[in-house]
Amino acid sequence: MRAVFLDLESLDDLDLSPIENLVDELVCYPQTAADEVAARIDGFDLVLVNKVPLAADVIANAHALKLICVVATGVNNVDLEAARRRGIPVCNSQGYGVSSVAQHVITLILALHTRLLDYDRAVRAGDWGRASQFCLLDYPIIEVSGRTLGIVGYGALGAAVARRAEALGMNVLIAARPGSAAVPAGRVAFEQVLERADVLSLHCPLTEQTRDLIDAQALARMKPGSFLVNAARGGIVNEQALVDALKSGHLGGAAVDVLSQEPPRDGNPLLDQSLPNLIVTPHCAWGSVEARTRIIDQTADNIRGFVDGAPRRCVNL
């Protein structure tokens, strides 16, 4: 089996031997432009890809192609129907980043409450050296214990964040599906979570139903001084509305690991360095060494399953 990896750069410098041991040849490219895909996959049985698009015409004309492995959970970059028509399994990676993302979210929550970045910047600017006493207390520090965390999206990630938050003494509210008529046991209506949460953390997928879920109206319903954390998808939050809520002082702070365009080559209103108590990280919550190693191991497992005649984590057949 000949294999080609179209965008290895997204996984950084990892040990690929679990995959190399299962194929006769593995060709790797750091990145692949859309107009290079057809030529680069020609003659290969297996394509490994993270975010590079595999369009219907490319799949249809890749006559040697037998298996597509996506080294991520999202498969929206692959035309699944085109692969299905040719009987090509599309296998992804699942659950690999739960611990990594949950750790990142809790880090963001703690950093917002302690004003960690503000104090770091103050020290670097020499404010501590000019202080009249032994410490600086220029930014309000809030204890997380006893605060209420609202979670929107209670899959594996939301549940992992809830467990860690409870260990810190936080009270957790799990939101019912927005717009649902009934509220299941153990859940709280979405609107009530907005109104009661000191911190709102998003863990739902980006769909047509969740796009701009957190808009100006939703932000206005949140408690004055509350925090918003988004490590899900950028489009779930209306970014200009979030900027306005921060500038007005209605929100006490926010932290995001995702933006509506990634990378933000055309700029983004959330990159305004004057915004108060805002933390932006570059979609890195998932990226611990351990999580990325799990992706490699799961991909090898997917290849092994295909060779054995029982594809694993197949999303299209």
Q: How does pLDDT run across 77-107, given as a tens digit for each residue?
A: 999 999 999 999 999 999 999 999 999 999 9
To the query of whether residue 211 is one of the catalytic residues in this protein, the response is no
* Model confidence pLDDT, tens digit, residues 179-231: 888 899 999 999 999 999 999 999 998 888 999 999 999 999 999 999 999 99
Q: Taking the CB of residue 191, how many other CB atoms lie within 10 A of it? A: 14
CATH superfamily of 98-280: NAD(P)-binding Rossmann-like Domain (3.40.50.720)
To the query of whether residue 191 is one of the catalytic residues in this protein, the response is no
Query: Phi/psi class of residue 266: alpha, beta or left (left: φ > 0; alpha: ψ in -120 to 50)?
Result: alpha
Of the pLDDT bands very low, low, confident and very high (cuts 50, 70, 90), residue 76 is confident
Domains of the chain by residue range: 2-96+289-307, 98-280
Q: Round the average pLDDT of the chain to a whole number and report it.
A: 95
Find the catalytic residue in 40, 104, 233, 292. Answer: 233
- Entry pTM: 0.90
- In the CATH hierarchy, which fold is given to the domain comprising 2-96+289-307? Rossmann fold (3.40.50)
Asked if the domains 2-96+289-307 and 98-280 are classified in one and the same CATH topology, the answer is yes
Find the catalytic residue in 84, 283, 304, 312. Answer: 283
* Model confidence pLDDT, tens digit, residues 253-271: 999 999 999 999 999 999 9
CA count, 13 A, side-chain hemisphere, 234: 17
pLDDT at 13 over 80: no
Cα distance between residue 267 and residue 272, in whole Å: 9
pLDDT at 317 over 90: no
Cα distance between residue 10 and residue 257, in whole Å: 16
To the query of whether residue 81 is one of the catalytic residues in this protein, the response is no
Contact by Cβ (8 Å): 203, 155: yes
